[in-house]
Structure 1
Amino acid sequence: MNQVSENPVKNRNDSFSALVVISGLLITLYLTSNIMAVKLISIFGLTWFDAGTITFPFAYMLGDVLTEVWGFKTAKKVIWLTFFCNILLVVATFAGVWFPYPDYIAETANAYAIIFAYVPRIVLASLIAFLGGELLNAWVLIKIREKTGEKLLWVRTIGSSMVGYLFDTTVFVLIAFAGTAPVRDLIFMIVVQYIAKLLIESLGATPMVYAIINYLKKRHSLEEVA
């Protein structure tokens, strides 16, 4: 079995550049998901999921790449950085809501307020859910890797996501939408979002994880990693 290594990179300059790109994409996708989550998608009279569900699995995918390539400690640092970027998003957008505006853009300003006045609650829910879910996801991925070594990457990524998504989805929906939707819809949203995230990751994100990790290993001379 391969020994777990937190920083298995030979060429550290190339590795740092790749780390910056992956981290930047993760943070961007995560912030985008939080803003998109304001919109709920309803079909046949049932609220299925929020729009952020579409992009969120790809942020999780990049979290898997970080853990797989750079180790749990580095992934944890990026998770905390994402946490603080979300706080900055709340402060900046909420300030924008309360600043005065000219009368001729009243309609635009009202639309802005409708979207971003709700963002703090979304982000609060997302912060708690993301922090717990991503840390669980990274920890489970490492634990599975200790058992499987380099083989069965899909088992590590999907297996860890099953645990992370369960925590993330349940906590997020309950905090973000409790009191605004019927209990039936909340339960339905949790189940549907959980399944949707797993399907998106399994069918779309997992092949991308394989491609990105293989590229990083070849391009940046990465050793066997945990």
Structure 2
Amino acid sequence: MTTSDAAAARGFRYYDLLVGGMVAVLLCSNLIGPAKVSAIELPWIGALSFGTGNLFFPIGYIFGDVLTEVYGYARARRAIWAGFGAMAFATVMAWAVIHMPPSEAEPFNRQLQPALALVFGGTARIALASMIGYWVGDFVNAFVMARLKLLTNGRHLWTRTIGSTIVGQACDSLTFYPIAFYGIWQSATLAKVIVFNWTMKVAVEVVLTPVTYAVVGWLKRAEGVDTFDCGTHFNPFSLRDDGQVLER
């Protein structure tokens, strides 16, 4: 049993890289392709339409699962706040760049300005919904992951990676879509989109479970740590490595 101070003093070789990867996936998923709708034909089902950015967004949850499983809830919490801060900065930066007056002396601006506004000029309502949905979903995911690890005594990793994604992605979708599109889309459409996107994101988690197993196993051996959040305070607004953390 180590104290939180001893845990914080421990140096990790790969933690920062994982945080960077999680933030990169989050930003790319929200900036590249969220407004594009793709359609595919599936046997016996027919055409399915979905937001293209959703193909990659679940990878961010896998990063969150790995961070919580290996390093514990408190360190995953710091990563979630880093992602939230990056999203907030990207939103402010996009707004500032779009609203700065373009130079009339540069002819290319006539094409560039409307393109920037189209691609990065999402409404404030959608940007707010995206940040709130991410914050709620990721913290729920990390909390469920950490609690299930204690309940299973560290066994059956798949139960907590998939279980936490089921709950976290549900909270994400149930937060984002109503905030962003309630009153704009019909209620039936809103419900269908929520169910389909939740199903697709959980399916990605299930398919990539072997990859998660491999990465988690390798990281635990490389870092020499397997964190159990015994006594951790699950306050999402703290940035401290608080509570008693058992590292086996």
**TM-score scaled by length of structure 1:** 0.87
* Match 2:150 to one of 146, 169, 172: 146
Bigger-Rg structure (1/2): 2
Q: Which residue of 1 aligns with 2:222?
A: 219
Q: Which runs of 5+ in 1 are unaligned?
A: none
C-alpha distance in structure 1 between counterparts of 2:137 and 2:213, whole Å: 22
Q: Which residue of 2 aligns with 1:53?
A: 54
RCO higher in 1 or 2 (8 Å CA, sep ≥ 6)? 1
Contact 1:6 1:73 in 2 (8 A): no
Contact 2:133 2:176 in 1 (8 A): yes
Is 2:15 the counterpart of 1:19? yes
User: Per the alignment, do residues 30 and 4 of structure 1 end up closer, same or farther by CA in structure 2, a change over 3 Å counting?
Assistant: farther
3-state secondary structure, aligned to 2:225: coil
**Percentage of pairs with the same residue:** 31
**TM-score scaled by length of structure 2:** 0.80
- Aligned pairs, number: 221
Structure with the bigger percentage of helix:
1
C-alpha distance in structure 2 between counterparts of 1:146 and 1:171, whole Å: 27
3-state secondary structure, aligned to 2:14: helix
3-state secondary structure, aligned to 1:151: coil
C-alpha distance in structure 2 between counterparts of 1:65 and 1:58, whole Å: 11
Is 2:195 the counterpart of 1:158? no
Contact 1:158 1:198 in 2 (8 A): yes
Is 2:211 the counterpart of 1:208? yes
User: Per the alignment, do residues 27 and 160 of structure 1 end up closer, same or farther by CA in structure 2, a change over 3 Å counting?
Assistant: same
C-alpha distance in structure 2 between counterparts of 1:122 and 1:137, whole Å: 22
Instruction: After TM superposition, list the pairs within 5 Å mapping 1:89-104 onto structure 2.
Output: 89-101=90-102, 102-104=106-108
Residue identity opposite 2:190 in structure 1 = L
Contact 2:69 2:226 in 1 (8 A): no
User: Per the alignment, do residues 186 and 4 of structure 1 end up closer, same or farther by CA in structure 2, a change over 3 Å counting?
Assistant: farther
Aligned-residue RMSD, C-alpha = 2.6
Structure 1 residue 178, shift from structure 2 partner: 3.1
User: Per the alignment, do residues 6 and 185 of structure 1 end up closer, same or farther by CA in structure 2, a change over 3 Å counting?
Assistant: farther
Q: Which residue of 2 aligns with 1:37?
A: 34
C-alpha distance in structure 1 between counterparts of 2:18 and 2:151, whole Å: 26
User: Per the alignment, do residues 54 and 159 of structure 1 end up closer, same or farther by CA in structure 2, a change over 3 Å counting?
Assistant: same
Contact 2:25 2:59 in 1 (8 A): yes
